[in-house]
Amino acid sequence: MATARIRGSALSLDPQTPGSVPAGSVYFDSSNANALSQKDTNNTPVPLASASSSDRMVKVMQNLSGATIPAGKPVSKKANGSIAQADADGPTGTQTYCGITLAAINHNSTGQILLVGPNVAGVINGLNYAPGQTVFLSETGGYANSTAGFVGNSDSIIQIGIADCPGGNATSVATDIIMFPDVVIRP
């Protein structure tokens, strides 16, 4: 095993199983299609790559729009988890820009999208957000999918990104955030 030490943690260049690396290690997980992973300080393996991709900036998404989306076109997330060609003045389902197609994607097919920001998998799992919803920093340090609760005079409204389903087939349940930060209001 080729291993490098980085400030007390190990980086393994050869595929390993989670049980064979110490806590704090970054490694290629042979039990998960050689996905880049890290074993956190609690000894829990955590994938560092987007589902169906080895790169947090590229994610596999499904086109259910009814037409082929050409290569190099901006796409948006729809509430059903699929993508559509994005535009600036269409219905809400085509305005939530999330990235650019790397190749043409036929109807009912999947393809790679170069994201506007890194995908962070699983961070909003169980919050019942729909893909394409804007995710904000809440007043309590968590996540919010609406600004309706921001009522104080000193509230900042900070967009973290947009909610997204796991990579691969479209689903109406969001588990991931595509980071797309923006300060909406700052007192």
What pLDDT is attached to residue 4? Answer: 45
pLDDT at res. 6: 43
Contact assessment for residue 93 and residue 102, using Cβ atoms and an 8 Å cutoff: no
Strand partners, 134: 162
In this prediction, residue 150 carries a pLDDT of 78
Q: What is the mean pLDDT of the chain?
A: 82
How far apart are the C-alpha atoms of 146 and 109, rounded to whole Å?
Answer: 31
Give the residue-averaged pLDDT of 128-149.
90
Is 96's pLDDT higher than 70? yes
The reported pLDDT for the residue numbered 61 is 95
pLDDT band at 3 (very low <50, low <70, confident <90, very high): very low
- Give, rounded to a whole angstrom, the gap between the first and last alpha carbons of the chain: 53
10 Å CB burial of residue 147 (0-12, 13-18, 19+) is middle
Question: In this structure, how many other beta carbons lie within 10 angstroms of the beta carbon of residue 180?
Answer: 19
Whole-number pLDDT of residue 69: 97
What is the reported pTM? Answer: 0.69
Q: What would the mean pLDDT of 102-131 be, rounded to a whole number?
A: 93
Q: How many CB atoms lie within 10 A of CB 126?
A: 8
Rounded to whole angstroms, the Cα distance separating 100 from 116 reads 8
